[in-house]
Amino acid sequence: MRNLTVLTRILSCTAAFLLLTAAARSPEVIKTQEHDLRIAEIATGLEHPWGLAFLPDGRMLVTERPGRLRVIKDGRLAAEPVAGLPPIEARGQGGLLDVALHPDFAENRLIYFSYAGSGEGGVSTEVARGKLADHRLEDVQVIFRQQPKSKTGRHFGSRLVFDRKGYLYITLGDRGDRQRAQRPDDHAGSVIRLHDDGRIPADNPFIGKQGWQPEKFTLGNRNIQGAALHPRTGELWAHEHGPQGGDEINIIRAGVNYGWPVITYGVNYVIGTAIGEGTHKPGLAQPLYYWVPSIAPSGMTFYTGDRFPRWRGDLFVGSLKDRMLVRLSLDGEQVVGEERFLHDALGRIRDVRQGPDGLLYLLTDENDGALVRLEPVN
């Protein structure tokens, strides 16, 4: 009976997404190496949208960086944002950033969101959760605050991912101060791992080590703005911005030092001088893949659906700088091919998600940003 209930929920959710037929479809057919597709415009008028989540009833949640959580239902953007969010500091690259559902959302109604929060010393990435009730959040609790805070408005990181065991991963940037990524007593430039209520897991790699922040799961990360679980292994993959060149893809593993700023494939902006000690050093991880020159990656998803069968197992990454979508073909942990498409067709691609309908959804980070869907041309 439980399996029947789960199946009914899945079918209901899929049907709800198939009802999103109010989308404006471009007549232009876009040809890629494996599939022909069209762009369907779901919603416009979003101000710098950043994160996207799919609700079981077919609605979608979209964050806007100025501090609004929006709802899209049946292809229409609700006029009023969701109420009940805490104060959000929208400055520079900060604001309301990612959003994620609790793995048991259908039972507990909990959603999680990352944002720039102010306090002693300035601003930093914070994560809160609350129960979604109609069009507002209730019982909102802050479960993580990055320490120390700082005055800069850069490199907040902020992707949120739950793994299959229910642990929450939070990606954090170096806040524009590169040396912070190597400091054990500083959350900046790392990935954080927590229980769903903010408690620290007993097996976190640095717990009990004097001078280390116990929430840290990694160090040496510059600014991670894309993260997703590998569909087969369940491991967390992430990409991060390099400086001028040196954007990376890494597999996130306990206690690993990913090298920034000691090693990097990038150089200093404008002047092009070297950073750190080169590209390799014992004890520091090499990226799985890197880009020179930079593409400014943001958003990431593994494709596992049936609507684009020849893409199954591929990794998709948005590009802010080059305004395109990148498809990476994989053989285990090796990238064996790269395809770039949608050049300047949409704008700065901030987030990439696979929907319950097996289609790809993209957010464009613009003053008049949009949510669009990629659909196959049969």
Rounded Cα distance, 138 and 129, in Å:
9
List residues bridging with 83 in a β-sheet: 136
Q: What SS3 class is residue 310?
A: helix
Rounded Cα distance, 138 and 140, in Å:
5
**Whether 159 contacts 100, CB under 8 Å:** no
Q: Please name the residue that has the structure tokens 């700082």.
A: 150
**Whether 123 contacts 94, CB under 8 Å:** yes
Q: Where on the phi/psi map is residue 121: left (φ > 0), alpha (ψ -120 to 50), or beta?
A: left
Catalytic residue among 48, 155, 239, 241: 155
**Whether 193 contacts 201, CB under 8 Å:** yes
**Whether 250 contacts 272, CB under 8 Å:** no
Element (H, E) at 355: none
Rounded Cα distance, 8 and 293, in Å:
47
Rounded Cα distance, 137 and 148, in Å:
27
**Whether 72 contacts 135, CB under 8 Å:** no
Element (H, E) at 36: strand 36-46
For this structure, is 155 an active site residue?
A: yes
Rounded Cα distance, 316 and 313, in Å:
10
Q: In angstroms, what is the C-alpha Rg of the chain?
A: 20
- The pair of structure tokens assigned to 72 is 């899209």
Sequence-separated (6 or more) residues with CB below 8 Å from residue 187: 124, 146, 147, 172, 213, 215, 216
List residues bridging with 373 in a β-sheet: 40, 361
Phi, psi at 2, each rounded to 5°: -65, -40
Give the CA count within 13 Å in the CB-facing half-sphere of 260.
Answer: 33
Catalytic residues, by residue number, are 155
